A and B are shown apart, each in its own frame.
Chain A
Amino acid sequence: MRTLLKTDMNLNEVRPGQNFIIKFIPEDIELRLCSLGLRVGDIVSCISRNFRGPVVLRKKNSFSQLAINHNFAQSIAVNVK
């Protein structure tokens, strides 16, 4: 069970420039994202969010960017810092 905080939202709701912590990743994409370097607890920032398109993230202390499609972004929970 994950407890929702006031600052919790889904990844597809974050705004460019916002920093947040990944709180929950659904099982079906957990391993894929883990091998791409993203897992629960990571601090990331949002680079861009496209209408019905992917959310692009950059991890703290990293140049790597990751684009996550709209549907998946909807299922990932984050906590805005």
Chain B
Amino acid sequence: MGITDKLGKKKTINVALVGNPNVGKSVIFNFLTESYVDVSNYPGTTIEVSKGMLKLSEKEAELSSYNFEIVDTPGVYSVSNLSEEELAARDFILNADIIINVISVVSLDRDLFLTKQLADMGKPMFLIFNQLDEAKRRNLSIDLENIAEHLGLEFIAASAVKKEGLKDLRKTLINFADNAKIKPGKISKAVDNFSAPYQEMVLDRATALLIAEADADLAKKNDIVLPPEALQRRKEIYEIRQSEVHSLIDDNVAILEMKWTDKLGDLILNPYLGSIIAVVVVYSFLFLFLGVFVAGNVVDALENNVFKAYYEPFVRNVVSMVFPIDASSMANLAFTKPMTAIGTLLAGDYGVLTLTITYLYALLMPLVLGFYFGLALLEDSGYLPRLAVLTDGVLSSLGMNGRAIIPLILGGGCVTMATVTTRLLSTEKERLITMVLLGLTIPCSAQLGVIQGLLTNIGGFMPWLIWGGTLMIVFIITGFVMNKLVPGDCGHFISDIPPIRIPQLDNVFQKTWTRSKIFLDEATPAFFTAAGLVASLQVTGLLQSIINFCEPLMEKVLLLPKDVTLSFILGMVRRDFGAFGLMDIPLNAAQLVTVCVVLTLFVPCIATVAVMVKEKNLKTAALIWLSSWALALGIGALLARGLLFVF
């Protein structure tokens, strides 16, 4: 328990934010701790548990006799040990001193079931009826006072995204010791009868209740053998709870009208109209917004009009005052003219101060910001769960289910982050297949932008069609074959669908910035290291030797000039490095499309491989890595020959 009496130190109170998925726990966590965890309009955003201290002003800190540790628990519908998230949430609930139950007023009929279960646990508890703005917008009539009174709990009504109503929450927590606002709720009599016998055995009421609800894990930990009728008892308890919720809703909630956003949400789910909308959304986002606007206009303007026109010449001038720069005779420069080698390393073709900075800020940054901005809009609007519904049928035949669309789309931002997100999938089989498809066929945002830049240079829709079509075919065949070969179950899609919302721009901007920053913080040192490495290879003459060594593979197998070797070497480190210098190599249309396809299919970056090892094991990661080599080169060889007839 959190109340510990360390010498001279304030006691720490453990506060667990508990609630159904998507009710606004993370927004409230961010408000209380003044930190940032991801907030998204799809169930299951919180797959990692976040902890933080309640941020107190100096005055508040003086007044408060406690410190408060806030835990943002994964969203759950009940705490019955049915899933991994429930298990994680359950443990935090059992350890908490205070439970703050966050409830969405728009889905009270769903949320109050968990509330009843938490109240039955008998822990000090407090309710936040959140998303009040949504209820007002929909003219929803709810008697919150009556509901709270019935539950025997105190509440605040809030619109967390607008920061409305949350000040009272801080006050309530800070004055925790002196007020009776945080207290156990009314315990259902009928349920109490079931848990009473266990309470004598385990002393803790919450644990006793969960054991009565057939929590086998807790029973085992407490040396209790569950009787054969335990599951039937759980069913009875659930029935009692659900009936109580039903009558609470019938007595206190009246839905007056559906809004246009609700109707739009329904239309998006229509298989025909929804598919057309999906094509329009993907086309507008990936092609028009990211490809044409960001990769074309923004990157072009930044790269050519700012960085190449002013920044690089300026750096070269400054560096050349001290170190000569030699772009012509690179080999052995390190041994023959060391000062020139340093100058070239700093400000030469692949210089750490020239190309690296241009790449990072003129190319990578706009692309990453653009991708995460678009994704944040899609997430916050509630579109992604609908896309999951639309794609469930197709993904099921590839060994996954609709939920897999979320990591697959996130992969378009960063495959490494998306690989971590595969945790939200429920079976090993679908996780493995999603991981493989992510590593193999999904380009990350930076790589996507570079590829878009290259394809846009060729002009027309044909290059796009060939690139996208090839990836799609590989995606489908790989998924189909793996579905047949990998044993196990691909999980079943049962999910609640959040309402369509107008995205909250501050949340969208914050999310875009936070995710882009994480990506760039990780990419920047790696980029500098890689640039330094390439420049070193260049000035020592080693680069040329490697390129010569790979010449047969490039020229004979992939029908590409040998200079492309560098892109592949760097692509192994980070996928986006694969474009390093590629823009400067003269390639014809067929070669450009081949390079784009091979680079996309080529091995996942080192960070993704590391995550695969962590999430699966070394053998699986190695197998995925080697297969992508073989597949990329095999398909590249075939495509290169086929494209001779197209362009």
Query: Measuring CB to CB, which residues of chain A are less than 8 angstroms from any residue of chain B?
Result: 16, 29-37, 39, 47-54, 56, 59, 61-72
Asked if B66 lies at the interface with its beta carbon under 8 angstroms from chain A, I say no
Q: Closest A-chain residue to B390, C-beta based?
A: A50
- Interface residues in B52-95 by Cβ distance below 8 A to A read 77-78, 80, 82
Q: Is the CB of B80 within 8 A of A67?
A: no
Asked if B496 and A65 make an inter-chain contact with CB atoms under 8 angstroms apart, the answer reads yes
Q: How far is the CA of A48 from the CA of B136 in the complex (A)?
A: 27
**Contact status A54-B402, CB under 8 Å:** yes
Closest to B273 in A: A48
CA A67 – CA B403 in complex, angstroms?
A: 11
Contact between chains at A31 and B238 (CB < 8 Å): yes
Interface of A is mostly: mixed
Does B494 lie within 8 Å of A61, measured CB to CB?
A: no
Q: Per-position contact with A for B612-623: 1 when CB-CB < 8 Å, else 0?
A: 000000000000
Chain A residues within 8 Å of B235, by CB:
30-31
- Given A62-B255, A67-B389, A67-B495, are A36 and B110 neighbors across the interface (CB < 8 Å)? yes
Q: A67 and B494: CB pair below 8 A?
A: yes
A71 to B492, Cβ gap below 8 A? yes
List, sorted by A's number, 13 A–B pairs whose CB atoms are closer than 8 Å.
Answer: A31-B80, A31-B234, A32-B494, A37-B107, A37-B245, A50-B271, A53-B390, A61-B109, A61-B255, A62-B109, A64-B109, A69-B494, A72-B494
A34: B residues at CB distance < 8 A: 113, 238-239, 242
With A37-B113, A63-B138 in contact, do A72 and B492 touch (Cβ < 8 Å)?
yes
CA distance A5 to B138 in the complex (A): 37
For A65, the chain B residues whose CB sits under 8 A away are: 265, 496-497
CA of A63 to CA of B263 in the docked complex: distance in angstroms? 11
The residue that A69 contacts in the complex, of B80, B385, B401, with Cβ under 8 A, is B401
Complex: how many Å from CA A52 to CA B113? 30
Q: Establish whether residues A16 and B270, one from each chain, have CB atoms under 8 Å apart when the complex forms.
A: yes
Complex CA distance for A54 and B386, rounded to whole angstroms:
11
Instruction: Flag whether B464 is at the interface (Cβ < 8 A).
Output: no
Interface status of B396 (Cβ within 8 A of chain A): yes
Q: Which of B479-497 contact A (CB under 8 A)?
A: 492-497
Is A36 within 8 A of B494, CB to CB? Answer: yes
Binding site for A on B (CB under 8 A): 77-78, 80, 82, 106-107, 109-110, 113-114, 138, 234-235, 238-239, 242, 245, 249-250, 253-255, 258, 262, 265-266, 269-271, 274, 385, 388-394, 396-397, 401-402, 492-497, 499
Give the complex CA separation of A71 and B245 in angstroms: 28
Q: Which chain B residues border A36 with CB–CB below 8 Å?
A: 77, 110, 494, 496
- The reply to whether A48 and B389 contact each other, CB–CB distance below 8 Å, is yes
* A1–B272 alpha-carbon span in the complex (Å): 38
CA distance A30 to B265 in the complex (A): 27
- Measured in the bound complex, the distance between the Cα atoms of B489 and A72 in whole Å is 14
Q: In the assembled complex, which residues on chain B have CB atoms less than 8 Å from the CB atom of A35?
A: 77-78, 80, 82, 113-114, 238
Q: Closest Cβ of chain A: how far from B74's Cβ, in Å?
A: 14
Q: In the complex, A64→B499 CA distance in Å?
A: 8
Task: Write out the residue numbers on chain A whose beta carbons fall within 8 Å of the beta carbon of B497.
Answer: 56, 65-67
Q: Which of A30, A53, A61, A64 contacts B392 (CB 8 A)?
A: A53
With beta carbons under 8 angstroms apart, the residue of B107, B239, B269, B492 that contacts A56 is B269
Q: Are B255 and A37 in contact (CB under 8 A)?
A: no
In Å, the complex CA distance between A56 and B6 comes to 53
| CB of B143, distance to nearest CB on chain A (Å) | 14
CA distance A37 to B492 in the complex (A): 18
Q: Given A33-B494, A39-B242, A56-B269, does the pair A64, B393 have CB atoms closer than 8 Å?
A: no
Q: Are the CB atoms of A48 and B269 closer together than 8 Å?
A: yes
Q: How far is the CB of A45 from chain B (nearest CB, A)?
A: 10
A51 to B, closest residue via Cβ: B393
The residue in B253, B385, B492 that gathers the most chain A C-beta atoms within 10 A of its C-beta is B492
Q: Which residues of B contact A62 (CB under 8 A)?
A: 107, 109-110, 249, 255
A44 CB to nearest chain B CB (Å): 11
* Residue in B493, B494, B499 whose Cβ sees the most chain A Cβ within 10 Å: B494
Residues of the A chain whose Cβ atoms lie less than 8 Å from the Cβ of B389: 48, 50, 53-54, 56, 67
**In angstroms, how far is the closest chain A Cβ from the Cβ of B624?**
27
Q: Is A69's CB under 8 angstroms from B493's CB?
A: yes
> Judging by beta carbons under 8 Å apart, are A52 and B242 in contact?
no
